[in-house]
Every structure is written in C-alpha cells, then in structure tokens.
Amino acid sequence: MEKNKTGKYVKYAIGEIVLVVLGILIALQINNWNENRKAEEKELKLLLELKDDLIETKNDLLTDIERIPPILKLTNTLYKSILGHQISDANPIKLPQGYLLGYPILYPKLSAFEAIQSEGISIISNDKLRKEITDFYQLHLNRVEWAEEKIEELNNKVLKPYLNANSAYGSTCKDCADLFEVNSNKKRSSRHFYLLSRADDELVHMLKDNFVWLTVLNRRYLALSDTIDEIIALIDQETNSKR
C-alpha cells in the first residue's frame, strides 16, 4: 500500500511540475509576444518619423539643386570673359556678392535617425532597409558635406580675400543713402557686386576649382535625391506590411 501511495504521489508531483513548466513557458511566450509587439510598434513609429524627416530633407535638397546651375553658368561666363580678354577698366566684370554667399548647403533633418541610434539600429528589422538607412546617414551625407566644405573653404578663404584685394565696390542701387536702404526688402533688385577690371591666372584657377567642386556637389545632390526616394519606397513597403 505504501508503494502504491508513493507511485501516485510521484505521478502527482510530476504532473504538478509539468503544469508549472507549461505555465512558465506560456507566460514567457506571452511576454515575448508582448515585447515583440512593442518593438514592432516602436519600429513602425520610428520609420514613419524617419520618412517625414527624409521628405523635409528632400525639400531642402531640391532648393539646393536649383541654386547650382545659375552659379555654374555665372562661373563659366566669367571664365570665358577672362579667356576672351573682355575685361578692362572701361568694361569691368560685375560679380554679385551673392556669388560668394549663395552657395548651397544642405541641412538634413536628423532627429528620427538619432532616435533610431539611441534605440539601437537593430530595431530596424529589414536588413536591406537598415543598410540603406545607415549608408545614407553615415556615408552619403558625409560625402555631400565634404564637398560643401570644399566650396565654402574656397569661397571664404581664397576667392573672397582675392576679390576684396583686387576689385572695386559696386551697387545697383544708385540712390540708396545707406546700407539699410541698400538691403531693404522693398528694393529686392538692389545688389552689391564686385567690379573686376583685370584678371590673372590665380582667378582663373579659382573659378575652375569652384566650377569643378560645384559640379561634384551637384552630382552628389542628385544621387542623394534618388537615394532618399529609394529609402522612402522601402519604408512604405515595410510599414504597410506591419499595419
């Protein structure tokens, strides 16, 4: 009888253990499901925020792309005028001051990507999308910024000092009494410009360098625009699958 009771107790104990283990496994499964659901919801939220940031970055990028062709055209015009010996005291070249101030600079919106980094880039479950996002922010944007810095350095540290030393001042606003009036919004046609009555090889080299770097930057801007479109398309596919 004692053996029979012991056998029943062992079976009962084993059954209890099995039930406890099953309960633990079910609880862990439910917990994992909840954690996965929360992670998926967080990923979805971050991807939608990233898409908004990319759209804003693209809008800023398009304005920069529009600014490059006129600068390239003006640079080429100056270059041809110098080569054609069309510059003289009687026929000086008018170089708008905006030529040095109007070079494009992209201001990408980074808040969503920074949030993704703080969570860990692995929160983006799609391998291809994760790579595209990483390449965009850590590679393509850096290449663009590097070209922008080259142009800024050329204009501010080389070309501007040269123009200040070798040109006269001019303005389209002949009747302006002071700088407040020159720069008034009511007189948008008023502009400062440099008057160049002579040119040398140094200026020619600066114009050539400026043209080359602007061309490089324009090419990288266009490639960046295409990349943004590709990432947005991938985000749309991923978010639609998670809804």
Report pLDDT digits (tens) over 177-233. 777 777 775 545 447 888 888 888 999 999 999 999 999 999 999 999 999 999 999
Cα distance between residue 83 and residue 91, in whole Å: 15
Q: Which of 135, 141, 74, 144 is nearest to 104 (CA)?
A: 144
Residue 216 lies in a domain: yes
**Does the residue 43 lie in any domain?**
no
The verdict on residue 57 lying in a domain is yes
Please tell me the distance from the alpha carbon of residue 81 to that of residue 222, in angstroms, as a whole number. Answer: 29
Instruction: Look up residue 9 and give its two tokens.
Output: 């107790």
C-alpha span between 206 and 214 (Å, rounded): 12
Can you give the C-alpha Rg of the chain in angstroms? 32
Question: Residue 236 is which amino acid?
Answer: D
Domain count, the chain: 1
Any bridge partners for residue 168, and if so which?
195
SS3 (DSSP) at 192: strand
Residue 58 included in any domain = yes
Give the end-to-end CA distance of the chain in Å, rounded to a whole number.
Answer: 62
Q: Is 8 a domain residue? A: no
* SS3 state of residue 187: helix
Question: How far is it, in rounded angstroms, from Cα 145 to Cα 138?
Answer: 11
Give 94's strand partners. Answer: 195
Nearest to 151 by CA among 103, 97, 92, 202: 103
pLDDT, residue 1, reads 46
The residue range of the domain holding 147 is 51-242
Domain assignment of residue 134, yes or no: yes
pLDDT tens for the 243 residues of the chain, in order: 455 666 677 777 787 788 888 878 887 777 777 767 777 889 999 999 999 999 999 999 999 999 999 999 999 998 998 888 878 888 888 888 888 878 899 999 999 999 999 999 999 999 999 999 999 999 999 999 999 999 999 999 999 999 999 988 887 777 777 777 777 755 454 478 888 888 889 999 999 999 999 999 999 999 999 999 999 999 999 998 876
Give a yes or no: residue 30 inside a domain: no
| 83 Cα distance to chain centroid | 37
Neighbours of 162 (CB within 10 A): 15
- Residue 2: predicted pLDDT: 54
The answer to whether residue 76 sits within a structural domain is: yes
Partners of 171 in the β-ladder: 192
pLDDT score, position 193: 84
Distance (Å) of CA 75 to CA 128, 133, 211 = 41, 35, 7
Which residue, among 108, 121, 133, 123, has the nearest Cα to 44 in the 3D structure?
Answer: 123
- Using CB atoms within 10 A of its CB, is residue 118 exposed (0-12), middle (13-18) or buried (19+)? exposed
Burial of 50 (0-12, 13-18, 19+ CB in 10 A): buried
